[in-house]
């Protein structure tokens, strides 16, 4: 009887130790998460403008200040330059979507960007339909990322024409990049990434493992900070 009681005490003690270890570990990571958030150590400069820098499709944060403009300018509700636009194309409208990198986005004033000038010039000719030109340029992206952007965000907006202007960021091996992104496990990793990105610990861990955004985005961000 004593041996049975002793075994029960030891078993209960082991369970308490395990629970204590789990609670202590949880509190440690909770404290670390809180400290990272309070100090801002979980964020890097690029994240002041870009959302989810570890997603292959790096996009600006909607409503954030544009660091590439020499005047105060805010990104629209979709995270792009220019006026807001709806997914549903307005009636009597010819919609043009301009994809590209910083050459399309334009690192100056919005009125100097080619999508803005294109819309202005085409509408001055008083066409039968209003011409709407959407600036979907994202600095630092390559052609593959711009294709992802179109597939995810613009394929369902009923564009009548799509223009692509890109080049400087396509120096690398795009085929290798595309093949890596198309591997089956990438879709699972992307869903995990989107679910965990709000955690400071996750962002710090990913930054250590991956080094953050592409060199082009990082260089653009630093040059305009």
Write down the pLDDT at residue 171. 59
Residue 54 lies in a domain: yes
Residue 153 placed within a domain: yes
**Which pLDDT does position 180 carry in this prediction?**
60
Tell me how far apart the alpha carbons of residues 44 and 56 are, in angstroms, rounded to a whole number.
Answer: 17
Q: C-alpha 49: how far from its chain's center?
A: 9
Q: Exposure of 193 by Cβ count < 10 A (0-12 exposed, 13-18 middle, 19+ buried)? A: middle
Among 44-58, 108-122, 160-174, 206-220, the range with the most confident prediction by mean pLDDT is: 108-122
Contacts of 152 (CB under 8 A, 6+ apart): 57
Confidence of residue 7 (pLDDT cuts 50, 70, 90): low
- Rounded Cα gap, residues 50 and 197, in angstroms: 13
pTM: 0.64
Strands 130-137 and 59-60: unpaired
Pick the closest to residue 177 from 147, 197, 154, 150 (CA basis).
147
Q: Are 93 and 101 in contact (CB under 8 A)?
A: no
In a domain, 102, yes or no: yes
Q: Which residue has the higher pLDDT, 203 or 216?
A: 203
Mean pLDDT of 164-192: 65
* The pLDDT value given to residue 224: 45
**pLDDT for res 204:** 76
In a domain, 58, yes or no: yes
Query: Is 21 contained in some domain?
Result: no
Number of domains in the chain: 1
Q: Is residue 30 part of a domain?
A: no
Phi–psi pair at 137, nearest 5 degrees: -75, 140
pLDDT for 133 beyond 90: yes
**pLDDT tens-digit readout, 58-102:** 788 899 888 888 888 999 999 999 999 999 999 999 999 999 998
Asked if 131 contacts 94 with a C-beta cutoff of 8 angstroms, the reply is yes
Residue 194's alpha-carbon distances to 17, 41, 166, in angstroms, are: 35, 20, 27
Strands of 93-100's sheet, edge to edge?
A: 130-137, 93-100, 161-165
Distance CA 163, CA 54 (A): 26
Asked whether residue 206 is domain-assigned, the answer is yes
Structural domain of 59:
45-223
Evaluate whether residue 140 is within a structural domain. yes
Instruction: Look up residue 32 and give its two tokens.
Output: 């670390």
User: What is the SS3 assignment for 33?
Assistant: helix
Is it the case that residue 157 has pLDDT exceeding 90?
A: yes
Q: At what angle do helices 200-210 and 2-39 cross, to 10 degrees?
A: 80
């Amino acid at each position: 009887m004593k041996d049975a009681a002793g075994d029960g005490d030891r078993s209960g003690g082991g369970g308490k130790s395990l629970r204590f270890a789990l609670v202590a570990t949880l509190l440690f990571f909770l404290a670390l998460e809180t400290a990272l958030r309070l100090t801002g150590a979980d964020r890097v400069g690029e994240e002041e403008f870009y959302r989810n820098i570890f997603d292959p499709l790096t996009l600006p944060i909607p409503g954030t200040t544009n660091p590439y403009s020499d005047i105060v300018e805010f990104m629209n509700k979709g995270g792009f330059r220019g006026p807001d636009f709806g997914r549903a194309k307005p009636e009597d409208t010819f919609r043009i979507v301009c994809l590209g990198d910083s050459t399309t986005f334009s690192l100056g004033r919005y009125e100097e960007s080619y999508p803005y000038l294109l819309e202005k010039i085409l509408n001055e000719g008083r066409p039968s339909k209003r011409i709407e030109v959407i600036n979907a340029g994202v600095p630092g992206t390559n052609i593959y990322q711009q294709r992802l952007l179109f597939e995810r965000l613009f394929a369902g907006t009923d564009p009548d024409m799509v223009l692509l202007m890109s080049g400087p960021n396509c120096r690398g091996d795009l085929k290798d990049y595309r093949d890596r992104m198309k591997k089956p496990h990438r879709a699972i990793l992307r869903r995990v990434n989107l679910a965990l990105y709000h955690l400071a610990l996750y962002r710090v861990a990913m930054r250590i493992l991956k080094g953050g955004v592409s060199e082009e985005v990082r260089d653009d961000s630093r040059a305009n900070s």
